[in-house]
């Protein structure tokens, strides 16, 4: 049984998840990276790290359900038990959610429920908050709405720019996400329905 990371962009979180899973000898390794973008930078990282990468371009499928069914069969082939979203810019649909209920986590660059959706860093800066942060949460049918597992704050300093804030937020993400996943793998974090679903 192993873990898949879904990513659409740069893939820095994917990389730290792979590195820490190896260095710390996680009981379930990260064995698959899935992207919806054929040109995503994360593909280079997967190659460098020697992690199998698959591209599922939604425009190759007639419906979202067909797209997710195709993903599901590959996840089955790889024996994937848990999914980590790391900058995956799509809403997870009912097909994947039902098959992986409470076995999908996401990381979001704000203190949810503030600043859900895209451009969370820009939203926080535009709003003028003094503190923002990072949230790891279970994935449900909404956009960044699932039950919160862990949060860490990040101070917004005078003169902060999107880029400077991104660096600070990502530094926190790169520590928080692997730490939460490790706890989940060792049974220290239980799903919201209170039991480990071991099948799939
Ligand atoms: C992260 O900030 C994450 O919180 C958000 O998307 C970004 C992905 O960054 N969901 P990367 O691709 O892991 O570098």
Q: H/E element holding 21?
A: helix 12-23
Q: Print pLDDT tens along the chain (200 aa).
A: 999 999 999 999 999 999 999 999 999 999 999 999 999 999 999 999 999 999 999 999 999 999 999 999 999 999 999 999 999 999 999 999 999 999 999 999 999 999 999 999 999 999 999 999 999 999 999 999 999 999 999 999 999 999 999 999 999 999 999 999 999 999 999 999 876 554 44
| CB 173 less than 6 A from any atom of ligand 1 | yes
146 is annotated as contributing to ligand binding: no
| CB 136 less than 6 A from any atom of ligand 1 | no
Q: 155 phi and psi, to 5 degrees?
A: -80, 135
Rounded CA-CA distance 18/30 in Å is 6
Question: Which ligand 1 atom is nearest residue 169's CA?
Answer: 2
Other residues' Cβ atoms within 10 Å of the Cβ of residue 163: 8
| CB 166 less than 6 A from any atom of ligand 1 | no
168 is annotated as contributing to ligand binding: no
6 closest CA partner among 77, 73, 83: 83
188 is annotated as contributing to ligand binding: no
Pocket test for ligand 1, best of 13, 144, 152, 162 (most atoms within 8 A of CB): 13
Atom 9 (ligand 1): residue with closest C-alpha? 87
Ordered structural domains, the chain, with CATH: 1-100 (3.40.50.170), 107-194 (3.40.50.170)
- Burial, 19: exposed, middle or buried (Cβ in 10 Å; 0-12, 13-18, 19+)? middle
Query: Which residue is associated with the tokens 């996400």?
Result: 177
β-strand partners of 32: 4, 52
CB 90 within 8 A of CB 184: no
Distance 67 CA to ligand 1 centre (A): 23
Q: Which residues are CB-contacts of 63 (< 8 A; sequence separation ≥ 6)?
A: none
């Amino acid at each position: 049984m192993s873990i898949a990371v879904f990513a659409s962009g740069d893939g820095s979180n994917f990389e730290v998840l792979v590195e820490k899973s190896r260095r710390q000898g996680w009981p379930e390794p990260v064995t698959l990276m899935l992207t919806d973008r054929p040109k995503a930078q994360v593909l280079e990282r997967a190659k460098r790290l020697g992690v199998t990468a698959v591209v599922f371009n939604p425009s190759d499928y007639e419906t979202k359900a067909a797209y997710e069914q195709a993903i599901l069969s590959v996840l089955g082939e790889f024996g994937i038990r848990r999914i980590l979203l790391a900058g995956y810019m799509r809403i997870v649909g009912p097909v994947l959610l039902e098959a992986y209920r409470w076995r999908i986590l996401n990381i979001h660059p704000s203190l949810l429920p503030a600043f859900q959706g895209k451009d969370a860093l820009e939203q926080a800066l535009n709003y003028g908050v003094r503190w923002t942060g990072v949230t790891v949460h279970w994935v449900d049918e909404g956009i960044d709405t699932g039950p919160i597992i862990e949060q860490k704050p990040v101070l917004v300093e005078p003169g902060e720019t999107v880029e400077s804030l991104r660096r600070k937020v990502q530094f926190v993400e790169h520590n928080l996400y692997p730490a939460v996943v490790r706890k989940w793998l060792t049974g220290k974090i239980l799903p919201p329905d209170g039991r480990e679903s071991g099948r799939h």
